[in-house]
Amino acid sequence: SLSALLGHAPGWGPGKTLPDGSVKLASNENALGLCESARQAVIDAIPHANRYPSDYTPELLQELAKYMGVKEENLILGAGSTEILQMTVQAFQGPKVPLVIADPTFEDVPRYQHPLSFNLIRVPLTHTYAHD
Protein backbone atom coordinates (compact mmCIF):
# COMPACT_ATOMS: atom_id res chain seq x y z
CA SER A 1 0.00 0.00 0.00
CA LEU A 2 1.01 3.62 -0.42
CA SER A 3 0.95 4.10 3.35
CA ALA A 4 3.41 1.24 3.82
CA LEU A 5 5.66 2.60 1.10
CA LEU A 6 5.63 6.14 2.49
CA GLY A 7 6.18 4.83 6.00
CA HIS A 8 9.79 4.26 4.95
CA ALA A 9 10.26 7.75 3.52
CA PRO A 10 12.28 10.07 5.77
CA GLY A 11 10.26 12.89 7.26
CA TRP A 12 6.89 11.30 6.58
CA GLY A 13 4.73 9.55 9.09
CA PRO A 14 1.04 8.75 9.11
CA GLY A 15 -1.25 10.02 11.83
CA LYS A 16 -1.76 7.65 14.72
CA THR A 17 -4.35 7.15 17.41
CA LEU A 18 -2.49 7.15 20.71
CA PRO A 19 -3.35 4.85 23.64
CA ASP A 20 -5.18 7.69 25.42
CA GLY A 21 -7.45 8.16 22.37
CA SER A 22 -5.85 11.38 21.17
CA VAL A 23 -4.78 11.53 17.55
CA LYS A 24 -1.30 12.45 16.34
CA LEU A 25 -1.70 14.22 13.04
CA ALA A 26 1.05 14.37 10.45
CA SER A 27 1.25 15.42 6.83
CA ASN A 28 -1.86 17.62 7.11
CA GLU A 29 -4.13 14.67 7.77
CA ASN A 30 -7.65 15.19 9.05
CA ALA A 31 -8.64 12.77 11.79
CA LEU A 32 -12.31 13.31 10.93
CA GLY A 33 -11.93 12.47 7.25
CA LEU A 34 -13.60 14.38 4.45
CA CYS A 35 -16.78 16.29 5.17
CA GLU A 36 -19.67 15.36 2.91
CA SER A 37 -19.34 18.45 0.70
CA ALA A 38 -15.61 17.81 0.17
CA ARG A 39 -16.30 14.15 -0.58
CA GLN A 40 -18.88 15.17 -3.18
CA ALA A 41 -16.48 17.73 -4.69
CA VAL A 42 -13.88 14.98 -5.14
CA ILE A 43 -16.45 12.70 -6.77
CA ASP A 44 -17.63 15.52 -9.04
CA ALA A 45 -14.03 16.26 -10.08
CA ILE A 46 -13.25 12.70 -11.18
CA PRO A 47 -14.32 13.26 -14.81
CA HIS A 48 -11.72 16.06 -15.03
CA ALA A 49 -8.95 14.30 -13.08
CA ASN A 50 -7.01 13.67 -16.28
CA ARG A 51 -6.42 17.42 -16.73
CA TYR A 52 -3.68 19.50 -15.17
CA PRO A 53 -5.17 21.99 -12.70
CA SER A 54 -3.37 24.87 -14.42
CA ASP A 55 -6.10 24.70 -17.07
CA TYR A 56 -8.39 26.30 -14.49
CA THR A 57 -5.91 28.76 -12.97
CA PRO A 58 -7.16 31.96 -14.67
CA GLU A 59 -10.73 31.45 -13.51
CA LEU A 60 -9.65 30.49 -10.01
CA LEU A 61 -7.36 33.52 -9.69
CA GLN A 62 -10.09 35.81 -10.95
CA GLU A 63 -12.65 34.47 -8.48
CA LEU A 64 -10.20 34.50 -5.56
CA ALA A 65 -9.13 38.07 -6.32
CA LYS A 66 -12.73 39.20 -6.52
CA TYR A 67 -13.63 37.38 -3.30
CA MET A 68 -10.61 38.79 -1.42
CA GLY A 69 -10.81 42.27 -2.92
CA VAL A 70 -7.27 42.22 -4.32
CA LYS A 71 -5.68 42.27 -7.76
CA GLU A 72 -4.98 38.94 -9.44
CA GLU A 73 -1.26 39.75 -9.63
CA ASN A 74 -1.19 39.88 -5.82
CA LEU A 75 -2.07 36.20 -5.58
CA ILE A 76 -0.02 33.11 -6.19
CA LEU A 77 -1.29 29.56 -6.28
CA GLY A 78 0.63 26.47 -5.32
CA ALA A 79 0.17 22.82 -4.56
CA GLY A 80 0.01 23.36 -0.80
CA SER A 81 2.03 25.57 1.49
CA THR A 82 5.29 23.73 0.83
CA GLU A 83 5.58 25.00 -2.72
CA ILE A 84 4.73 28.58 -1.70
CA LEU A 85 7.24 28.53 1.18
CA GLN A 86 9.95 27.25 -1.14
CA MET A 87 9.25 29.96 -3.72
CA THR A 88 9.35 32.60 -0.98
CA VAL A 89 12.69 31.46 0.43
CA GLN A 90 14.28 31.19 -2.99
CA ALA A 91 12.89 34.55 -4.11
CA PHE A 92 13.98 36.60 -1.11
CA GLN A 93 17.05 34.93 0.35
CA GLY A 94 20.44 35.78 -1.07
CA PRO A 95 24.10 36.38 -0.26
CA LYS A 96 23.23 39.54 1.69
CA VAL A 97 19.85 38.37 3.00
CA PRO A 98 20.03 35.52 5.52
CA LEU A 99 17.23 33.04 6.01
CA VAL A 100 15.98 33.67 9.54
CA ILE A 101 13.80 30.89 10.91
CA ALA A 102 12.23 29.94 14.20
CA ASP A 103 13.77 26.89 15.83
CA PRO A 104 12.02 24.52 15.78
CA THR A 105 10.13 25.17 12.57
CA PHE A 106 8.62 23.26 9.67
CA GLU A 107 11.48 20.90 8.85
CA ASP A 108 11.54 21.58 5.11
CA VAL A 109 12.11 25.34 5.28
CA PRO A 110 15.91 25.21 5.87
CA ARG A 111 16.26 22.87 2.88
CA TYR A 112 14.60 25.38 0.54
CA GLN A 113 17.75 27.47 0.39
CA HIS A 114 19.53 24.71 -1.53
CA PRO A 115 21.34 24.60 -3.89
CA LEU A 116 22.40 28.14 -2.98
CA SER A 117 22.92 27.62 0.78
CA PHE A 118 23.22 31.18 1.99
CA ASN A 119 23.44 32.22 5.64
CA LEU A 120 20.89 30.46 7.87
CA ILE A 121 20.03 31.99 11.25
CA ARG A 122 17.98 29.90 13.67
CA VAL A 123 16.17 31.83 16.40
CA PRO A 124 15.11 29.59 19.29
CA LEU A 125 11.50 29.77 20.40
CA THR A 126 10.77 30.46 24.05
CA HIS A 127 9.98 27.65 26.49
CA THR A 128 6.30 28.12 25.54
CA TYR A 129 7.14 27.77 21.83
CA ALA A 130 6.53 31.46 21.14
CA HIS A 131 8.67 34.05 19.40
CA ASP A 132 10.39 36.39 21.83
Domain definitions of the chain by residue range = 1-50
> What b-and-e string marks burial along 96-109, b requiring 16 or more CB atoms within 10 Å of the CB?
eeebebeeeeeeeb
Q: Which residues pair with 23 in a beta bridge?
A: 17
Q: What is the structure's pLDDT at 126? A: 92
Residue-wise pLDDT tens digits, 106-117: 878 888 877 777
Residue-wise pLDDT tens digits, 6-21: 455 444 556 667 777 7
Q: What is the structure's pLDDT at 129? A: 87
Q: What is the structure's pLDDT at 55? A: 67
Give the single-character DSSP code of 127.
Answer: T
Is the pTM above the cut of 0.75?
A: no
